A = this chain, B = another copy of it.
């Protein structure tokens, strides 16, 4: 039985208890939210994983994507990326390889992590068609389902499946006349296939068969957002919202089957449209957890898209997105390396946390409050203890050590806190009151 079916029947599973403990919330609250589909716990029944809750009222979670490409296919590096991503604090991984022995890569990654792992099964189908016949337009609909099943059996916890690319969404895309067009890799495979064969998307037509598979293995559906904009000028357009309507209908049908869903969101989008996007997605999809890809809030900062995305991530978390896919400095330029992965996770975690603080300082800001105390006391070890990335902080201060141990080299003994502690805080109250 899926987590969601258990929850619907009133059962609090071990995964729900673990999420409740992690979030310091009541297990019964988690159960209720899982039953409604407002919280998802991606946790394939074929594999042991850490329970990670994604959804309403929970800490915003961060995904790190790894995977080979056709140009760079190095399984050891991908395993190293997975490790570094976890160490930097990623909550989940997505394994999106398109180069090399895809089954072996997936199984090796799954065997080497306890984090929930996501995938995009259509990649494998497209890669096989390209390798065999030269193009994704030669994909067989049966193979699409077979790869979903194989990957589910391997233990993949959540899958981005492009069910919502149908004739309606493609019609709206064509009418829209975008600058950036369609930039989703899976979306490009399935839509090219549809247009070439002039038929409906089999993943849309055979959605019940998709549900049969993911229900059996309790895979959480990550409703893929193929129409996300690939340029700021295309953001929040009719093609995207058309797809969102279809996505909402598919979420309903998944919930009827007790299948957990999360819904992917854009993409390239200016910061002033983020709140609207989250509100409309939550409405169309009846509060399904929102999985934000990026977002990219300016197009002109390649090499620094992790910072671009951290800016967007903060807005997302603040306005109710629940899960954020990181972006690395290599975005739009190259396959990320190990250090890129680390920087991407760090930036996205900072953004997610800044947004969570804006929602509830009391719940999410306890470490920030302790940092304030440590700074006031000029207690550096305590400052490191409450830092998200303590070793990086220590390294900067240690590289340029101050003469006076309680200060840093920015101000030395002219440290404002030191002066205030010495003169202002010790002054009589009367000194301030006349």
Contacts and interface: CB of A to CB of B under 8 A. Distances in A.
A252 interface: no
Interface residues of A, number: 123
Given A233-B372, A302-B383, A303-B396, A410 B330 contact: yes
A1 interface: no
B411 A357 contact: no
A170 to B, nearest CB: 5
A423 B189 CA distance: 9
Interface string A369-404: 101110110000001001111001101110110110
A218 interface: no
Contacts of A231: 368-369, 371-372, 375-376
Contact of A368 (B298, B361, B423): B298
Given A71-B402, A171-B432, A311-B310, A233 B304 contact: no
A196 interface: yes
A187 interface: yes
A141 interface: no
Interface in A19-71: 69-71
A347 to B, nearest CB: 5
A293 interface: no
B333 A397 contact: yes
A424 interface: yes
A300 B434 CA distance: 37
A361 to B, nearest CB: 7
A367 interface: yes
Nearest to A358: B272
A280 interface: no
A399 B350 contact: no
Interface stretch (A102-110, A255-263, A413-421): A413-421
A319 to B, nearest CB: 10
A195 B232 contact: no
A152 to B, nearest CB: 23
A17 to B, nearest CB: 28
Interface string A305-349: 011101110110010000000000111111111000000001100
A171 B386 CA distance: 31
A300 B416 contact: no
Given A192-B420, A231-B372, A396-B330, A434 B299 contact: no
A284 interface: no
A137 interface: yes
A399 B71 CA distance: 13
Interface of A: 69-72, 98-99, 123, 126-127, 130, 136-137, 167, 170-171, 173-174, 179-185, 187-189, 191-192, 195-196, 198, 230-234, 270-272, 297-304, 306-308, 310-312, 314-315, 318, 329-337, 346-347, 350-351, 353-355, 357-359, 361, 365, 367-369, 371-373, 375-376, 383, 386-389, 392-393, 395-397, 399-400, 402-403, 408-417, 419-425, 427, 429, 431-434
12 contacts: A70-B403, A179-B369, A181-B425, A195-B424, A232-B357, A233-B369, A234-B372, A300-B367, A310-B311, A332-B383, A334-B408, A335-B400
